[in-house]
Amino acid sequence: MKNEILKNFSGIKLFLFDLEGCLIPKNFVHNDKSEDDLIDKLRFYCNEFRSLNLELGIITASRSEIVNRLKSKNLCFILDGSINKLELANKIINEKKITYEEVFYLGDDLLDIPLLQKCKISACPFDGRREVKRVVTFVTKSKSGFVIEEILEYIKQSKK
């Protein structure tokens, strides 16, 4: 990771992630066990972010059952149900009284591009779409489903 990007991590207050293809692997098999494991993993990482006085949120166009399950757990805020992710992000940014200069977003698909282009730091999983990789600040070394661990490590490095 370039030092300049790591330096920018220190000014980020809000970390947003797309759900499908980013926090959830592309080959995810939906069943009770795999979804329970995903919820436990997200619970752990939400707590990790909170321990660093940072906020983690999910922005997804989906209104799937896994989204409903995640929302019912109140792990972090989840904005869902619109293909206009920039509009969804505007709501939370205005509510928190921050600017896009204080926001990180990780997305993998064409719907994510407007939001990725607006944030101070943007990223795409290693297995994200080529068109998305062209507009982000950096591409993770990790594939979908494993990116949050990498981002958390960068956050910790930026605080040293």
Element housing 15 (H / E): strand 14-18
Stretch 7-21: mean pLDDT: 93
pLDDT at 2: 74
pLDDT at 1: 62
Q: How many whole angstroms separate alpha carbon 123 and alpha carbon 116?
A: 7
Separation in Å, CA 64 to CA 4, 61, 67, 117, 130? 38, 9, 5, 26, 26
In percent, the amount of the chain with pLDDT more than 70 equals 99
- Structural domains in the chain plus CATH codes: 3-158 (3.40.50.1000)
Record the pTM: 0.94
Q: Identify any residues that bridge with 18 across adjacent strands, giving them in sequence order.
A: 59
pLDDT digits (tens, 9 = 90+) for 93-141: 999 999 999 999 999 999 999 999 999 999 999 999 999 999 999 999 9
pLDDT at 150: 95
Q: What is the DSSP letter of 102?
A: G
What is the chain's mean pLDDT, rounded?
Answer: 93
Q: Which residues contact 8 (CB under 8 A, 6 or more apart)?
A: 120, 121, 158
User: Which among 86, 122, 78, 85 has a CA at the least distance from the CA of 104?
Assistant: 122
Q: Is the pLDDT of residue 10 over 90?
A: no
Stretch 2-6: mean pLDDT: 80
